[in-house]
Amino acid sequence: MMPLPTDAGSDALNENNKKSAEATIKIPFESAKRAEIIYRVLSVDKEPRRNFVQKELRLLGDQIEVHFIADQVKSLRTAITSFFGSLLLCTDTIKEFSPSTEAANNNAGTHTCANTT
């Protein structure tokens, strides 16, 4: 039996009739500076060659856009979960170490000491 002709464009998108799974996520931040810091931290990690997921990060003002392409939905889900774990670590670290404007205003010029001896 002779194989049916295939469309070259569809072969490029899905090899052996496999459809790729894609997701695009846009994450807004309170400022462009905070988005840039998180973008710079997260863009350092490149996907390993053996990974079946492609990830592209873009900085758009006060937003980060992440586009995922995976060979399977399961791989896509795992990549997104991993990305959000890294994102939460970044945001928690920034909250922990960034000075609070309210605390800075209330305690300006004061110093407290627990040792009273």
Distance between CA atoms of residues 84 and 4, nearest Å: 43
Mean pLDDT throughout 37-54?
A: 81
Interval 20-30: pLDDT, tens? 899 999 999 99
- Is 117 within a domain? no
Provide the strand spans (E) within 2-52: 21-28
- Domain count of the fold of the chain: 1
Per DSSP, the residues of 70-81 read ESSHHHHHHHHH
Residue bearing the bigger pLDDT, 109 or 17: 17
71 neighbors 18 (Cβ within 8 angstroms) = yes
Please calculate the CA angle 24-78-53 and round it to the nearest 5 degrees.
Answer: 60
Domain containing residue 58: CATH number: 3.30.310.50
- Is 106 within a domain? no
Assess whether pLDDT exceeds 60 at residue 117: no
Interval 51-78: pLDDT, tens? 789 999 999 999 999 999 999 999 999 9
Q: Which of 85, 11, 20 is nearest to 52 (CA)?
A: 20
| Residue 65 belongs to domain spanning | 18-91
- Is 6 within a domain? no
Please calculate the CA angle 65-72-89 and round it to the nearest 5 degrees.
Answer: 40
Assess whether pLDDT exceeds 90 at residue 104: no
Mean pLDDT throughout 45-53?
A: 72
Mean pLDDT throughout 84-94?
A: 94
Percent residues over pLDDT 70 in the chain: 64
Q: Which of 74, 63, 59, 60 is nearest to 18 (CA)?
A: 74
Assess whether pLDDT exceeds 50 at residue 19: yes
- Is 53 within a domain? yes
- The radius of gyration of the chain from alpha carbons, rounded to an integer in Å, stands at 23
